[in-house]
């Protein structure tokens, strides 16, 4: 990922190792916050804006599906939902139409890197469209 991105990311996972794994894919992010539950992550997204939200399911207080749906509906963040392989097809079917990128565990670093780059490109495109639209106001 380019060094000059300047985006913010929220990682939601009950496992510290997952956050470390995700951080290996990150360069150029202005800030990265980590939360361990959906409840604490909900509080964080009410307090500040995130460009990218990465969720490792399941969470200790819910499966994570309700959280990612709320995050996708209520904001403009790009959302990546990482799920156990046994629920991948169901999650993919339910969440893709809401713009949520779903990946199955076990994750490979290359797939994670590409997915995050894809989400960053979406955010850059959205930012560009927003600036173009409101430039003259």
Closest CA to 8 of 119, 93, 118: 119
Q: DSSP assignment of 40-100, as one string? A: HHHHHHHHS--SEEEEESSBTTB-SHHHHHHHHHHS--EEEEEE-GGGHHHHHHHHGGGTE
DSSP reduced 3-state for 125: helix
Q: What pLDDT is attached to residue 87?
A: 97
Q: What are phi and psi of 55, to 5 degrees?
A: -120, 130
Global pTM reads 0.87
The ranges of the chain with pLDDT < 70 are: 1-6, 27-28, 127, 129-137
Q: In this predicted structure, what is the pLDDT of residue 134?
A: 67
pLDDT tens sequence across 20-32: 999 887 766 778 9
Q: Supply the pLDDT for residue 137.
A: 55
């Amino acid at each position: 990922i380019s060094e000059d991105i300047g985006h913010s990311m929220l990682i939601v996972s009950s496992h510290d190792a997952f956050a470390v794994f995700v951080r290996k894919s990150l360069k150029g992010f202005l800030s990265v916050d980590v939360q361990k539950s959906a409840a604490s992550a909900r509080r964080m997204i009410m307090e500040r804006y995130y460009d990218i939200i990465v969720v490792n399911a399941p969470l200790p207080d819910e499966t994570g599906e309700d959280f990612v749906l709320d995050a996708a509906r209520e904001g403009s963040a790009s959302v990546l939902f990482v799920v156990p392989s046994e629920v991948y097809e169901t999650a993919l079917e339910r969440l893709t139409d809401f713009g949520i990128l779903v990946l199955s565990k076990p994750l490979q670093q290359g797939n994670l890197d590409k997915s995050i780059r894809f989400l960053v490109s979406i955010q850059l495109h959205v930012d560009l469209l927003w600036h173009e639209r409101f430039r003259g106001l």
